[in-house]
Structure 1
């Protein structure tokens, strides 16, 4: 197997009176991995994402991006190669800007983030219509609509498209379908899987949905008390069922 794109080595994250949220965690992420992440509340899932994204400082350990230790790099600097979609549809988009303007802004990842209306040419709008149409929720008909006026599902779909407009080295999907109704959630999950697979994105996806965790991705990890208690991929993952997964939540 090739070298990991990201490597977490003996990572410990503490809060309060030295309470360990991540406990000497070791975890490698390889190019093309689509990893579903399970765990009970308080297991360390969000802490894992916040640590990778740079929103939380580690108490000890090494966090490598390729061969560089990025443990002390800022969250802002990591946005050059890490993108994130949050659970709340309101996060990740600018509400007063139109759908098209948000997509144009997303193309500036890793560059100076300025927005010029002249960038929204007829050709660019046609491109955005094609991009948004694949989400299957009529977002393509609302390119000139202020994002704050979209439905929750449309706004979350836009957040996903913005996060992947410039291919990130790592996409963090932080329960990105949890706030949506079941039909909209399923629709976005199908679109997510299609885009991640087609574009060969490297992604981690937190979910509480066992069916989604088993159905999607090539790899699955389960966190418990800040440690990874299960890490399976490919055929081993495909052989799992709900009963086998649930026993890790009983410990």
Structure 2
């Protein structure tokens, strides 16, 4: 199960209806970043993955799909194209902020929740029944890059990977050691723990599945990027 459209910068959002959450995808900014608005279907809680750019369009998305409510913004990693609108979005909504602990101080907006591997982040409210996302640390693209796994988003898990995993390979790294770390984490924590049907929602471009990418893992390791 995935989006029906091809989301592009300046274009309309695309909506994915799952049993536990609604996901609204919008491409923003000069680097065609994906921002994902998640709404818990049980509690109405709302979370944004990456306030990447174009605050006005992101706030309009919050107004249209969440009646102006935004409880939390999670930044997948420290690179500026993933937090360019964060200050404006937080100022307008009062949302809490979260990021991987090693990247938190490199993001020039307050960080309310410093995430570590294995944390559970509610989609909105913290009470009983709220949909939750499991935090997966994927070290290599940056020291504090995180993915967010919605394991109860039936009929298959969904994972929001930032710049750590795309169709066709892992994210950019700056040294062989970083590449080895990132690919190792991705293989162990995503390909090793989640089913092939898992839908991957990357920080740029189209979604894919772990099953579609798994056959290429040896090729990625051999080429070194």
Interval containing the TM-score (normalised by the shorter chain): 0.3 to 0.5
Query: Could you say which structure has the higher helix fraction?
Result: 1
Q: TM-score, normalised by structure 2?
A: 0.37
Normalized per residue, which structure has more strand? 2
TM-score normalised by the chain length of structure 1: 0.35
Larger radius of gyration between Structure 1 and Structure 2: 1
Q: Work out which structure has the larger RCO, using CA pairs closer than 8 Å and 6 or more positions apart in sequence.
A: 1
